[in-house]
Amino acid sequence: MADLQAPRGMSDLLPEDEAAWRFVRDTTERVAGLFGYSLIATPIVEDVRVFARTSGDESDIVSKEMYVFQDRGGGELALRPEGTASVCRAYLEHGMASRPQPVRLYYFGPMFRYDRPQAGRYRQLWQLGAECIGDPSPAADAEVIELQHAIFRELGLDDLVLRINSIGTAETRRNYVERLQEHFHPHLDTLSRDSQRRFETNPLRILDSKEDAAHLAVLEAPSILDHLSAEDAEHFATVRSLLDTAGVAYEVAPRIVRGLDYYARTVWEFEPPSEDGEAGGQSTVGAGGRYDGLIELLGGPPTPGTGFATGIERTLLNMRERGVEAPVAAAVDVATIPLGEQGPAAALRLAQALRAAGLAVRAGAPGRSLRAQLRGANASGARYAAIVGDDEAARGVVQLKPLTADGDQFEVAVGDAAAAVRGE
């Protein structure tokens, strides 16, 4: 093996993976379009402050996982670890608040996190996501959840379990967080290091600790749902009733939280069902939440927003486990086989004409024998070989040889080749 390899935790998308990736991307585009969402593509790098201000220095993403570097001008940049902050930065930068609200956007692209690589956890990970910015209503939450759900359903993942919760607003959470600290205080020694640290910095996130998921103190923690304000509770009830109307099944899961202050009210996750049919602690395939405080952290006016991110590698993993077949990518229609002196130029013009007619053409290898080129044409899966030698070039014709179906080689005028290949 060569001594140079892809960076640890990062991988190549190979031709054999293409069909599945194309299926996920096309499905995302199609379903997002059906919901009236437009594509946004932000740079893969951002001013580090886009993430430092929003996710905060204490967050895992910023404190442990972010790739930060100086460019040659001395500016501090970060490889984006997630999409929402960038989309909100773009919303502000382009004055999207003056467009009809809400602004509905979706994205599809790589994110970077210095995570510990293992199955379903990489350092370059791809996410698809959507943001609905400018609408504080429960309808916006229900819409993005329904969109995320619809994309999963179209990909054959309708058995993923949707778990939703409300974490109130930063103000209504304050009281609950104090209750939580009182609750965890006597159990501190038996909680993981991470949870001990979170006890000081962000007690809410103890509830979402992977290490302590089975700890009695976590299981018996007071529920945030008992500490919601009347408005929070009404918002949550409306989200649930809209999901009921839309036929989107969910479980209410009071231990799902988002650790950051900018999150408000609705939060959710999609998880694979566990063996016994209930959502377990397996890797989350997608997650989302309402982030009403985020745009202010970027220096904008208070602006409500809600959205989700789905991990594409984990989506593909779940599709493979369920044997979901992606539609096969369109094969090559014609492989040209140029021979002799004049064949190559004639074959090149033939390929142009066929492509202009919408047919996929694999160019042959001038200078190689008919036999060798036929072998390559067969291996490519092309339906026809188009043989063009000196004689054909002189007469303006081509020999079409069916490769994937029975039938004899036949001669057609170059101008009739596209129709012949189409079987017209």
Indicate whether 127 belongs to the interface with ligand ATP (CB under 6 A): yes
Shortest distance (Å) from residue 333 CB to ligand ATP: 37
Subset of 66-85 contacting ligand ATP (CB under 6 A): 82
- Give the interface segment with ligand ATP, choosing from 14-22, 280-288, 293-301, 393-401 (CB under 6 A): 280-288
Q: Please identify, using beta-carbon distances, which residue of 173 and 205 lies nearer to ligand ATP.
A: 205
Task: For residue 276, give the H/E element and its range.
Answer: none
CA angle, 70 then 260 then 125, to 5°:
55
CA angle, 54 then 57 then 61, to 5°:
75
Indicate whether 115 belongs to the interface with ligand ATP (CB under 6 A): yes
Q: Which residue has the tokens 């999150």?
A: 263
Q: Which of 58, 251, 313, 416 binds ligand ATP (CB under 6 A)?
A: 313
226: which 2 tokens?
Answer: 């008992």
Shortest distance (Å) from residue 407 CB to ligand ATP: 48
Shortest distance (Å) from residue 389 CB to ligand ATP: 52
Residue nearest to ligand ATP (CB): 311
Cβ neighbors of 98 (< 8 A, separation 6 or more) are: none
Shortest distance (Å) from residue 257 CB to ligand ATP: 11
Task: For residue 194, give the H/E element and its range.
Answer: helix 193-201
What gap in Å lies between CA 110 and CA 124, rounded to an integer? Answer: 6
Q: How far is CA 277 from CA 96, 159, 243, 390, in A?
A: 43, 10, 21, 68
Q: Please identify, using beta-carbon distances, which residue of 155 and 417 lies nearer to ligand ATP.
A: 155
Shortest distance (Å) from residue 270 CB to ligand ATP: 8
Q: Which residues pair with 269 in a beta bridge?
A: 163, 287
Shortest distance (Å) from residue 299 CB to ligand ATP: 23
The type of residue at 362 is R
Q: Please identify, using beta-carbon distances, which residue of 113 and 235 lies nearer to ligand ATP.
A: 113
Indicate whether 279 belongs to the interface with ligand ATP (CB under 6 A): no
What gap in Å lies between CA 421 and CA 424, rounded to an integer? Answer: 8
Q: Which of 144, 157, 285, 403 binds ligand ATP (CB under 6 A)?
A: 285
Q: Please identify, using beta-carbon distances, which residue of 248 and 287 lies nearer to ligand ATP.
A: 287
Q: Please identify, using beta-carbon distances, which residue of 297 and 374 lies nearer to ligand ATP.
A: 297
Indicate whether 122 belongs to the interface with ligand ATP (CB under 6 A): yes
Shortest distance (Å) from residue 269 CB to ligand ATP: 7
Cβ neighbors of 350 (< 8 A, separation 6 or more) are: 336, 386, 388, 398, 414, 417
Indicate whether 283 belongs to the interface with ligand ATP (CB under 6 A): yes
Assess contact for 178 and 165: CB atoms under 8 A.
no
- Judged by CB under 6 A, how many residues of this single chain contact ligand ATP? 17
Assess contact for 364 and 378: CB atoms under 8 A.
no
CA angle, 301 then 306 then 311, to 5°:
130
Shortest distance (Å) from residue 62 CB to ligand ATP: 12
Shortest distance (Å) from residue 308 CB to ligand ATP: 8
Indicate whether 152 belongs to the interface with ligand ATP (CB under 6 A): no
Subset of 11-30 contacting ligand ATP (CB under 6 A): none
Subset of 187-206 contacting ligand ATP (CB under 6 A): none
Q: Which of 28, 42, 284, 373 binds ligand ATP (CB under 6 A)?
A: 284
Q: Which of 56, 168, 286, 343 binds ligand ATP (CB under 6 A)?
A: 286
Using DSSP, state whether 78 is helix, strand or coil.
Answer: strand
DSSP-assigned letter for residue 59: S
Would you mind telling me the total number of residues written for the chain in this entry? 424
Indicate whether 294 belongs to the interface with ligand ATP (CB under 6 A): no
Classify residue 411 as left (phi > 0), alpha (psi -120 to 50) or beta.
beta
User: What order of strands is seen across the sheet that includes strand 397-402?
Assistant: 361-362, 334-338, 384-388, 397-402, 410-413
Q: Please identify, using beta-carbon distances, which residue of 127 and 399 lies nearer to ligand ATP.
A: 127
Shortest distance (Å) from residue 307 CB to ligand ATP: 11
Q: Sort 381 into a burial class: Cβ within 10 Å, 0-12 / 13-18 / 19+.
A: middle
Which is it for strands 266-271 and 286-290: parallel, antiparallel or unpaired? antiparallel
Indicate whether 163 belongs to the interface with ligand ATP (CB under 6 A): no
370: which 2 tokens?
Answer: 């008919």
Binding site for ligand ATP (CB under 6 A): 82, 113, 115, 120-122, 125, 127, 283-287, 309, 311, 313-314
